[in-house]
Structure 1
Amino acid sequence: MSRTLELIFVNAIGGKVTLRVADPKDDLTEAEVKTAMEQIVAKDIFSSPGGSLVGVAGARIVSRDVSEMDLV
């Protein structure tokens, strides 16, 4: 199973921007994620077509389980 951490931000024009991090650690806490996201916004690390990231909208961990089928 693969897991992805999705960090969702608000940009300068009010749009949402999602940054994805592959294989986040298993014991990641909400507080750690929130702190990291607030630092990204404060340091203006990333930009988007709608301008700088100006706020935190949310975060989630997405799990994906793929099962191959042997058809041959």
Structure 2
Amino acid sequence: MGFSIKDFLDGNKMYIGGAGAILVGVGHFMYDWYLGDIQSIEEYLTWIIIGWTIIGGKSALKKITYDLKK
């Protein structure tokens, strides 16, 4: 029984998506900061909040299904 990238990705799609959304927000802010053209903070926070929501939702679903199995 070895490590399978496919199994890892299948089991963690929501976490990877949430982390990706957070990285988009942070990366977009850093790039705009580098260019000196910072937009409104809501634009960046939207991506970060979406990522947190996705990760938090997946964690909540995992806990709910775990509690139901007891």
Where relative contact order (Cα < 8 A, 6+ residues apart) is larger, the structure is 1
User: When you count helix as a share of all residues, which structure comes out higher?
Assistant: 2
TM-score, normalised with respect to structure 2: 0.27
TM-score, normalised with respect to structure 1: 0.26
Larger radius of gyration: 2
